Each structure stands twice: as C-alpha cells, then as structure tokens.
Amino acid sequence: MRRVVQEQRMIRRLSLCLITPVLLSACTQFPALDRTLTPALEAADYPALVPLEPLLAQATAGQVDAAQTKSTLTSRVSRLRARAASLRNPVLTSAERQRLSQGRQ
C-alpha cells in the first residue's frame, strides 16, 4: 500500500516537472509575422523551373564504380598485410642481439 502511494507521488512530481516548462513557454510573446516579406521580394518573379533530366545525369555521374573500388581495396589490403607481416619480424638480427646481450653483462 505504501509503495503504491509513493509511486503516485512520484508520478505527480514527474508530471509537474514536465508540465511546468510547457506552461511557461506558453506565456512567451509570439513573434509578429506580419510584413516579413519586403515589397521587393513580393514583386519578384517566381524562380525558373529546371528540367529534371540534367540534374539526374549529374547525380548519377558521380557514382562509385564497385569493381574498381573492390580492386583498389583488395590491393590496399594486400599491401597492408605485407607491411604488417614485415613489422612482425624481429628488428635485430641474431648477431646484433648477441652483441647487445654481451654489452649488458
């Protein structure tokens, strides 16, 4: 029973917190929208309509060629794998490693 009362209080508080900003925003002044267009803008001609086909041709001209992209990425992957394999190799030769170990002693 007590838990139900606590939940009801929580719901009331939450609804009050949500309703308060809405009510406060309703008290603001609505901006005057009369005469937002200048007389020059009202007298201006409508924009010219452009045929759709040239626009679509430009849009499709910039498309990516899937086969070329795949070959480019495949070659890049192989170069990166070769580079990673060379980085896994030891930096020092066995002679250099032996010389360094003798210098530590």
In terms of Cα–Cα distance, which of 76, 94, 95, 73 is closest to 84? 76
Convert the pLDDT of each residue in 37-53 to its tens digit: 888 888 899 988 989 99
Contact predicate 79/87, CB 8 Å: no
- Measured over the CA atoms of residue 90, residue 94, residue 99 and residue 101, the dihedral's sign is positive
The structural domains of the chain, with segments of one domain joined by +, span 75-105
What DSSP element (H or E) covers 104? helix 94-104
Distance CA(72)–CA(69), nearest Å, equals 5
Residues 57-104: tens digit of each pLDDT: 888 777 788 888 999 999 999 999 999 999 998 888 889 888 888 877
